[in-house]
Each structure stands twice: as structure tokens, then as C-alpha cells.
Amino acid sequence: MKNSIKDNLIEKLEKNQALITIIGLGYVGLPLALNYSEKGYKVLGLDIDESKINSLKKGISYINSISEERVKNAIFSSSLEVSTDYAKIKNADALIICVPTPLNKNKGPDLKYILNTMQFIGNFLRPGQVISLESTTYPGTTEEELRPFIENKGFVIGKDIFLIYSPEREDPGNKKYNTSSIPKVMGGSTNECSEVGKALYYKVTTEVVEVSSTKVAELTKLLENIHRSVNIGLINELKPLADRMGIDIYEVIKAASTKPFGFVPYYPGPGLGGHCIPIDPFYLTYKAHEYGMHTRFIELAGEINEGMPAYIVDKTTNALNEIEKPLKGSKVLILGMAYKKNVDDIRESPSLKIMNLLKQKHANVSYNDPYIKVIPITRNSELVLESIDLNEENLRSFDAVILATDHDSYEYDMIEKNSNLIIDTRGKFPLKENIIRA
């Protein structure tokens, strides 16, 4: 049966005549908005953070991996409009939701940003719109939360409004893959929704990977991140064991990586950070309990990875003891506060947890990070600190230096030559008497 609403929307999307609205202009939403604008669409970017909107209006990028040239080109050519006014949604043909999905204090899903967004847009919905949720969440969220909300407004999903789930796959700092080159997984609430979803995304990505339902798409994203969390948890569990055996775990990984099949290298570190891997697995754990099941691998990996900052602090304490220095009162420098190298993102960063643990033990803590000049107050840090200069004189003044994030811009030879004691959580330094692998 012909659906003129659907056909008209698909035609607008295919002819670049649709207004694309991105809700949430963070590490996911902003590159997506720029991608659509660069593909010839008119884009509206919405965010409740006025400071972000004001920066973008001036052509200023607040994300290190996004150049100001891209922002200026989009803003000053009028292909991208940014605003805090959600009433502008009434003109949108596509609504793509890219808001955070954190955990609550009990490690359960916190959907408040998604639900608040739906409340914001609810009064401005109209027939002929497609709504895509990109925020990572548990299987069933789209059908159990978004679909009833839209239907309660009097719309018929698949006829009036088209609902899809398409998980973000951003990897900040990755120079090989970006928003447009990463295949897009997409599942529709109905077959008609999937047809519209393909039209929404096929021009801005290399491939649209259509799956049979929104639940499949939701679980796909969780599997991707659980796969990494579990394997990182495995290598983080092996690291202290190898250490006690007098074995260099990095040499083991290098040797195992020569096998041309059946092995994928993962590397130990100070713990997990970022917007996905420390959080997303617990979304599935929460949902599994509804079905009377326990996700033991996932939970165990989470416990191991969450324990790594304390392990790093213990290694630091023991290393200082070996040179007859107590941790209390010692000067400790943390290199790298971002959760991964070459980015300016401190969300869930294990470096923050290491810093707080050191402060609790009365160490005098400083940090350097070329991407993060100031640490604001976060739920993982009650400190407000500024990055210190990284030079020979400063390095020599610290009792211990902890390499937490291995930014490419660090001069590792200079750091090695001028540090009294190095706690290396990334395997960047050679094994020496004053260098401790942790």
C-alpha cells in the first residue's frame, strides 16, 4: 500500500531537501552535524549548553579532533544553524538524538537525557518526520520508551512518524576512521521505518548495515563495547600475574600477535574511560536481570577494570617505599588526564580516579596534559587543577611520575632521562631500575 508521507520524506532525504536536526552537540553530535552539512544538507544543531552554542556561532571548535575550519565553513555558509531553542524542531524532517546515557549511582541505566529530550520535542512533532536514537542504551529502549511516547501523541509509527535506532560508533582521535567512513548499523521499528532510515544515512556513510529490529541494533552496539571491555579486563588481570612471574606482558602480547589467525591484541592500562566502554556493558547487565540472568563475564571484567587505578596507586606506593620514601608528602606527577591518547576528553578517565586516590593518601599531585589545560570539578574529581609545564626542571622535582595516558606528543626520551621514578601503565618505557611497569 502506497504511503505518501513515507515516500515524500524519502524523496526529500534523497534530494538533500530535508532539514536534519541533531540534538546534542558533543563528541557524537557535532561531527555528525558537520558531516551532514558537508554532504549538502541544511542542518540544525540543538544543545542545552549555551557555551557550546556560543562557541559554534563564532566558528570555534570545543573538540580537539574537529578543526575550526570545518566549523567555520559550516556556520558561515549557513549550512549549519545552531541553537538552544527546541521549538525549531517543528521545521525538522529528521531528528537525530545524540545525548548522553550515563549510569546512576547503582550502576543502572540513567535515561534522563533521552527522556528529557523526548519531552522537549514532544510538542513539536508532526507527520513526515523520522526520529533516530543514536545514544547507547539497552535493548528495548526504542520500543519501550520512545515508541509509546510518540504513539501517545496520536501518531502511528511507520505511517505518520518513522522511528529507528542507529548506534553511534565514534572513536575520538582515530585518524583512520571517522563519521562518514564507519558503516552505520540501523534498525527500524517497522519495515517502513527501515526504508526511511536507509534514506537518512546512506549519503553520509560508506555503508548502511540494516538489521531486523531496533533491539538488534541496540544489542549490536553493546556487543562491540562489551567485546573490548571483557578482553581488556582479561589482559588487565594477566598484567599483575605476569609481573609477579617476572614476565613482561608487553613482550608476551607482541609475540602472540605474530599468530596470523585467532588472536587479536589488547593492551593493559590504568583502567577504562570514555563515554562507552566503562558504562555500556552495565546497560546489558541491567536488562539481563529482567530475564533472570546474570552476565558474569561482563560484571567480572568491570570489576577488574575498575580496580586498576587502585592497583596503579599501590604500585606507586611500593616503588616509593623501595627508595625509602613514603607516599604521604611525596610529589607525584600524572602524565595524561584524558581517557585515551591524543584526545581532550576526560569522561570517566582512570587518571581522575588515580589522582583522587593519591590525594586521599596525602600525596602532592600535579598533572600535565597537552590537551587538557584545566581539570574542572567532575563527579570523579573534586579538584580544580591546571596542567603544569613539562620540562626537565619540573620533571626532576617530582618523586614519581605516572604515565597514565600515552599521548604521541610526549617526548619520552626526555621524560625518561629526567624522571627520578616512572610508573609506566602503557608500556612506553624500557625496563630499567627506576622504571616500574604497572
Which run of H or of E encompasses 213? Answer: none
The catalytic position among 25, 130, 276, 358 is: 276
DSSP state of 293: -
For 29-40, b/e burial (b = at least 16 CB within 10 A) is: bbbbbbbbbbee
> How far is 241 from 70, CA to CA, in rounded Å?
47
> How far is 123 from 319, CA to CA, in rounded Å?
60
276 is catalytic: yes
Which spans in 15-109 are helix H? 29-38, 50-57, 68-76
**Contact between 215 and 185 (Cβ < 8 Å):** no
Which run of H or of E encompasses 252? Answer: helix 249-256
For 82-110, b/e burial (b = at least 16 CB within 10 A) is: beeebeebeebbbbbbbbbbebeeeeebb
**Contact between 47 and 97 (Cβ < 8 Å):** no
> How far is 96 from 134, CA to CA, in rounded Å?
7
Residues noted as catalytic: 276
